[in-house]
Structure formats: C-alpha cells, structure tokens
Amino acid sequence: METTLRGVGVSHGVAIGEVRHMGTAVLEPPAKQITADEAEREQGRARKAVEAVSADLMARGQLAGGEAQHVLEAQAMIATDPELMADVDRRIAVGSTAERGVYDAFASYRDLLAGAGEYMAGRVADLDDVRNRIVARLLGVPMPGVPDSDEPYVLIARDLAPADTALLDPALVLGFVTEEGGPTSHSAILARALGVPAIVALPGAGEIAEGTVIAVDGSTGDLFVEPTAEKRAELEAAAAERKAALAASSGPGATSDGHKVPLLANVGGPADVPAAVEAGAEGVGLFRTEFLFLDDSKKAPSEEKQIESYRKVLEAFPEGRVVVRVLDAGADKPLEFLTPADEPNPALGVRGLRSLLDHPDVLRTQLTALAKAAEGLPVYLEVMAPMVADRIDAKAFADACREAGLKAKFGAMVEIPSAALRARSILQEVEFLSLGTNDLAQYAFAADRQVGAVSRLQDPWQPALLDLIAMSAEAARAEGKSCGVCGEAASDPLLACVLTGLGVTSLSMGAASIPYVRATLAKYTLAQCERAAAAARAADSAEEARVAAQAVLSGE
C-alpha cells in the first residue's frame, strides 16, 4: 500500500528503486588496561592510525574535487588536531589502549563541541565520523559505510558523513534519504554538487525495510513507499518533462518577457570552475576563498600562492563577473592564527569580517593578491565582506579595499538581520549587496543550519526570511545598486522566480542547479514572478508560501 512521507528536498530529481541502508557497527572498544611498558607502542599505533585516516580523507577529497574536497580536507585536519592527539597520548600513558584512548579523547572533545552552542554542535557528526574511522582501523574492522550492491538502489541513513557522500557513485546510488541534517548541511550541499536526488530531515526513514521500493522526489521532499504504477508513471513523466526543459534551455538567465537575471555559480576554488563553465554560468556569484587557508591552520597562505589560485578562476570568465568573498573564518571554520580558541559561542563571536579587522595584515594581503591577480584581465572583479553588521563594518571594509589599491566593486554580504534592516545605510559605503540566505536564516530564526530538529526554520521559503530579502532588494533599488542572492535559496527553481519577483538582481548557486533555474525562469514573466513573491510573503509558513507561489505561477 502506497504511503507518503515528507522531508526536506535538497537536490532536484526523482529516484525510484529499492532501499539499501547504510551499514552500522558498534565501534566502542573495550575498556582494557595496558601496562606502562606497552604505552609507547600503543601511542605509536594511535599516531599511525590517525595519519592513515587523515591521508585517506585527503585522498578521497582530491578524488572527489570541488566542494567535497574542502569538506574532507577540513575533516583531515580534525584527525590530526594537536590538542586531540596530546589528549590521546595522555590517556594511553595512564593505561588506556590506543583505540580506547582515541575513543575517550574524541568523546571529551565531542562534549565540548556539543556544549559550545548549536553552531559548533553541528560539527559533531563530522567528529564522530573521524573517530569511527580511526577506531575501526585500530580494531581491524571495516568502516560502516555505503553498502555493496551490483544493482542501483536508494540509500537511507541516519546521516551521511562527508567522506561517504563525496564518493557516492551516481550510477549505483540513485538517490538518498537521511533522517537528520538540514537543507544547508554538508550532505545536502554535496548531493547538489553530485546531481543526486536527496531528501534530508525525514524522521522514521530508517524504519523502511531493506529492499522496499520507494520513490524519492528531491524537489518536493516527498518520499513514496511502495508507489503505485500510476504514481511511478506520474513521477517519471514529471522527471522526463524537466529533463526535456533542461535540454532546451541555454543562454543567459531571463524571464519569458526578457527581464535579465544573471545566473552565476558558487565555487570553492579552481577545481569547481569546469562544472560552472559547462553549466553555462555567466560568472561567479560567490568565490569562497577559505580553501586556501585550510591547508595550514597556523598561518595564512603567501600572497604569491593566493595570486596563483585567484587568477585561475578569474581567467575562466573573461568579461564575466566574478564576486570574491574574502576569508570567512570563525564559527565552524576556526583557524589558529586568526580566530579565538575560547569563545563561548563562536557563531556569535569574532567571525568573518570581524576576524579580518582584528588582523588587518591578513586582510591586506588577500586584497593585494586579488588586485594583482586581476591585473591585465578583462574580468569584472567584485569583492565582498562576510558578516557585515552595519555601516561601520561596511566603511572599514571599503577603506581597506581602497588602501590595498583594489580596482573593483566593494560589496557587503547580508547574513545578519541588522544588515537587511539597515541596508540603505550600508549601501552608502559599498556598491552592492549579496544575500547569504543560509546564515541569514540561521540568525533570523536562532536555528542552527546543521541541526535537523530545527530544519523547518532553515527553510528558505519562510515568509520572514523573504521579508528580509525584500527589504534588502528594495534598498538596493532605491540606491541604484545591485542585490544578488548567493545562498542555497537560489538553487530552488521555484524560489528563484520568487526571488526575482522580490527584486533580486542576480542568482548564484551550485553549478548543477543552473540549468534547472534557467529553464524555470524562462517559463514566467516578471509580473508573474512579482505576483508569486507577493503571495509567498502573505503566507504564514514556509509550506504555505511555497504552495501560494506555485498556485500563482500555475495560474490556479
């Protein structure tokens, strides 16, 4: 009998297949004691296991490339954290085995993260995955992970570690469903990069029996258990229609009546550029520069190294627009040389521009490197600051750009509600705004983007979030300046129409989403988008907003 479950759709497409569950195993080692003579040997075992896991994560990242590489490299750094390893050595010195020492040291660090505010607690899943890999290696047992199968299947898991998601084979894994996570979790971001239909935050999915046929609609978040022949045909027809629309869609982004909406790509480094070019991106709307700084958490990369990497991206879009976000460190991206180690709530502390203004030499080097990287190129370079709270922040960033000799537009990201509320004031100092909807939702609703329990508040269809976006766009229009969206909201084709109706002037997203958004925008006029936006803002919940916008665009 067909039943329907509803989660959060995070990656477009339809997948129909049999269920396979992520393998699980109990990886808590016994509390066995060792003698003092055995301590040095056990410490050596622990170090070798840690180094092997770190190397494996780095190798997986290099194989996966793009966004996945940055996530996995960050995990590799967790594995070799000096403080964690010192704690492991201390525990072994007083009688723990290597595997028990690792387990208990990670458990202690896990408790610290879990108690450090919801933002840091969202990194617990990554920490658990690293711990399990090290302990499994020490115990000589296989890591729980993606099941072996010769036939394609739909994967169900409590959550997916980045190392598993990054190397999913789309030829075998038709789609995946997780009980936890949110629309901006690592699993969701990597699913979109892979082009695999996915649903997250669906409690109870793990109770679906192995081998059950299910249908996953990654656009709506609907999961159909044992779908009828009619439902399967309906979903397959809708998928075929979307595929045909994608194939017919090309050229710049625009509504059906010719209102231009540039479609840009979010990239994390040179490795993401080929996919963006292939998808027809009109430029880069968010160039995350953190990848350069994660190689060594103790010092910033040299100016020469930065110039080399920036130029590779700038060269890929001759006469296109490339918007670079300066280093956004802090919160879940701590760097030893830049961010405080003892903040009670890093998400509300010294993060983003605040860190850079405390370390003007790091900001100056990055801005100088960008200026030199753009020399002689016809690219339209724009540089923006993360976590701008008010006009004082915006002025400090603009002054730093001018002092570095940067010949580019200076902008501010709107991620803090105060920036949306005072957008016209901020625009007296900068030339454009870019909305980071992931963090804007997080701060507007006090809802950690990594916690599945509050995922409904991270839904970009929330009317209050749409209000903040509209305020920013209206302020930019009044000042004759631009206001784009570079958060995950832009990757939803229907929401892209609403954002256009709100007055947003450009949309930036993962490369895989560009064809979907281009094809959907081309079906509607600007007036239809504006009516859909008004209907969504008049709603009282995210679901009502989505339904209202769809009704307007469907002519109902």
Rounded Cα–Cα distance for residues 208 and 201 (Å): 15
Angle among Cα 387, 491, 287 to the nearest 5 degrees reads 45
Helices 360-374 and 303-315 pack at an angle, to 10 degrees, of 40
The CA-atom distances, in angstroms, between 238 and each of 195, 247, 366 are 17, 14, 47
Burial class (CB in 10 A: 0-12, 13-18, 19+), 32: exposed
Residue 414: φ, ψ to 5°: -105, 95
Can you list the positions of beta strands (E) in 308-379? 321-325
Angle among Cα 167, 168, 174 to the nearest 5 degrees reads 165
Rounded Cα–Cα distance for residues 45 and 276 (Å): 43
Query: Which residues have C-beta within 8 Å of that of residue 458, sequence separation ≥ 6?
Result: 182, 183, 184, 438, 441, 442, 445, 447, 449
Joined together, the tokens standing for residue 97 give 């085995």
Rounded Cα–Cα distance for residues 387 and 200 (Å): 27
Please say if 486 is a catalytic residue. Answer: yes
Query: Which residues have C-beta within 8 Å of that of residue 365, sequence separation ≥ 6?
Result: 300, 303, 306
- Residue 482 in contact with residue 462, Cβ under 8 Å? no
Residue among 346, 428, 343 at smallest CA distance from 387: 346
Rounded Cα–Cα distance for residues 9 and 222 (Å): 7
Please say if 21 is a catalytic residue. Answer: no
Rounded Cα–Cα distance for residues 447 and 437 (Å): 13
Q: How many CB atoms lie within 10 A of CB 297?
A: 18
CA end-to-end distance (rounded Å), the chain: 31
Rounded Cα–Cα distance for residues 419 and 371 (Å): 27
- Residue 179 in contact with residue 203, Cβ under 8 Å? yes
**DSSP structure class, residue 490:** G
Rounded Cα–Cα distance for residues 472 and 504 (Å): 9
Q: Which of 12, 70, 186, 359 is catalytic?
A: 186
- Residue 542 in contact with residue 518, Cβ under 8 Å? no
The position carrying tokens 């916008």 is 549
Q: Which of 401, 483, 486, 529 is catalytic?
A: 486
> Which residues are known catalytic residues?
186, 486
